[in-house]
Structure 1
């Protein structure tokens, strides 16, 4: 890989190794080695620029969860060494809530939560990142509803949710948007389900025995159960504008094809659904989805949304 240290075999290897060094090895100083000086990082509730916020965020997470592990479930790679790679890295983190932080005083409760990080990688550095963690799963594990945690965080911010715009990724990187094949078929049905929540959209691409994981650490089994999740989300935000920012499939001989999709929903909480009675609040949701595709069907799916950030927007003054 052009510009990368020769020890790295490919981008999958690069991401797994540097993640292990920074998190499992607690080598936070390696962030300065593997992140660009002007790296922008967006989460559903924040945007930061530069290395120092990345280091500070890592320290804060380890303060609250000192034994946190980052177990790589998958790394879905797109791009190339000339235009820049993107790694969509799905992580499962077991941990104990043993320290102070945004989740309040330590509860001693065990937590398991997923994160997906989309990282633009050029010449041995992460230069742009979108990161979505299932904060609702953490809140529930320590005995809080995600709405109540959101209300607590809002009080600390004077009741207002404010988030700056994410700058564009640095040239020459351009996000991949698949226009045909499994990823395109997956995205088209996904868009239909959200745009037409009151209609019964055929779940043609979902396997009848689909296994899926949605926010709050919830598992869904079967196409109809997953369809109900999307209906609840779409009904809450009728007429929302939907954007697919990244869409790629990675074929793997002898294994399911892996699909990664980063998306945004811009709308108004104007209907009943997953978030209760409508508040009329404007929302902008950042989500990342992974799926595994076999024989023309989705057999496994992961939907990453930070519903603490969603509730912060719904409750914001």
Structure 2
């Protein structure tokens, strides 16, 4: 099953609405709570969780607590009870097709960064314990490179990074997951040669027989027609989600970057790849243009969207998306190479009174650089 097909089977929450339900009222939110309040010891179960371990009180508690147990408490074996044997994990340069691969990858990462701590920044979710849950978990990671690993000898440098993990969960087990990390930022903070690392990543894929598939046009425009005026909003569950998809289609596919001044607040904060922290509409326009300009024929395609009313006011929206095109413009990846590029991205938005006041976006320039090198190896 393709990721797109999987997306179409994700849990559906009822009618399109913006009303905060009792179900969502009782579920924990991350932003204002300390960690001990997110994984409470004596809190009664606040949400129906058929088939989940007794320690979990709601779906946010589940994803925060089990992530902490696996990564911070080093209970890696918990993966055996929290992932199905045939789980599929997607990232920007490769896919894992079973639970044992997830265990192996987790062990390797812990070897390199034993001091790493992943702090939940946001969890946006939908679904229920009958159809299954979908969670989008934004994590801010900190640590230090202290051990010999696949990255070579330790540099002793510290790092900060952002990761988003989208999970499909049923009865205590994750059966499909999408993970996007800002790996380029980490490598730069550690002082490592990103060209060498990207080459090694590409060589590993090349030796396994993987190749970049260039399918030509990406259907953003058909023939000599302009981009479609209207976007497909069938994956939206609420009016806010539908409106958000329309905004993003207008900006990314129709290239109407002036729309940003209409839908972003003047004091918007933008938290982006390479650990950029920027402020204001002009910064958002510039950084959005930087991605589109690097892949000027790129088609932006949403894969999943979910949202929750927010204790801080307004609504938090999570969008998983891809962009496909070719490296035809200058940018963070240097001189255009013409190679096919596939961007897997995650965006979280905080929308208040019809304006975006915060955006967190994660995609990985290191994976894009590795794709370029993989295409060059094939040539």
TM-score (norm 1): 0.89
Matches within 5 A, 1:71-220: 71-144=119-192, 146-155=194-203, 157=205, 162=210, 177-178=235-236, 180-197=238-255, 200-220=258-278
Greater Cα offset, 29-38 or 5-14:
5-14
Q: Which residue of 1 aligns with 2:295?
A: 237
Q: Residues of 2 paired with 1:285 and 1:183: CA distance?
A: 22
Residue-by-residue CA offset, 1:270-302 (whole Å, 9 max, x unaligned): 223443332110111111111111111111111
Return closer, same or farther for 1:227/1:144 CA change in 2, 3 Å cut-off: farther
- Native 8 Å contact 1:96 1:108 kept in 2: yes
Deviation, 1:193, is 2.3
Return closer, same or farther for 1:179/1:275 CA change in 2, 3 Å cut-off: farther
Is 1:307 the equivalent of 2:361? Answer: no
Task: Give the structure with the higher percent strand.
Answer: 1
Structure 2: unaligned runs, 5 residues or longer = 1-48, 214-233
Return closer, same or farther for 1:295/1:271 CA change in 2, 3 Å cut-off: same
Return closer, same or farther for 1:71/1:253 CA change in 2, 3 Å cut-off: closer
Q: Which residue of 1 aligns with 2:323?
A: 265
Q: Residues of 2 paired with 1:146 and 1:187: CA distance?
A: 34
Q: Residues of 1 paired with 2:211 and 2:152: CA distance?
A: 22
Q: Residues of 2 paired with 1:199 and 1:18: CA distance?
A: 40
Deviation, 1:34, is 0.8
TM-score (norm 2): 0.75
4+ long deviations beyond 2 Å: 100-104, 144-149, 151-165, 179-203, 252-256, 271-277
Return closer, same or farther for 1:58/1:233 CA change in 2, 3 Å cut-off: same
Question: Secondary structure at the residue paired with 1:203?
Answer: helix
Return closer, same or farther for 1:156/1:308 CA change in 2, 3 Å cut-off: same
Please report the RMSD computed on the Cα atoms of aligned residues, expressed in angstroms.
Answer: 2.3
- Native 8 Å contact 1:195 1:234 kept in 2: no
Greater Cα offset, 184-193 or 83-92:
184-193
- Native 8 Å contact 2:332 2:365 kept in 1: no
Q: Residues of 2 paired with 1:257 and 1:233: CA distance?
A: 26
Deviation, 1:204, is 1.6
Return closer, same or farther for 1:34/1:164 CA change in 2, 3 Å cut-off: farther
Larger Rg: 2
Deviation, 1:54, is 0.8
Aligned pairs, number: 307
Q: Which residue of 2 aligns with 1:49?
A: 97
Q: Residues of 1 paired with 2:120 and 2:84: CA distance?
A: 22
Matches within 5 A, 1:17-32: 17-32=65-80
Structure 1: unaligned runs, 5 residues or longer = 166-175
- Native 8 Å contact 1:76 1:259 kept in 2: yes
Q: Which residue of 1 aligns with 2:88?
A: 40
Q: Which residue of 2 aligns with 1:286?
A: 344
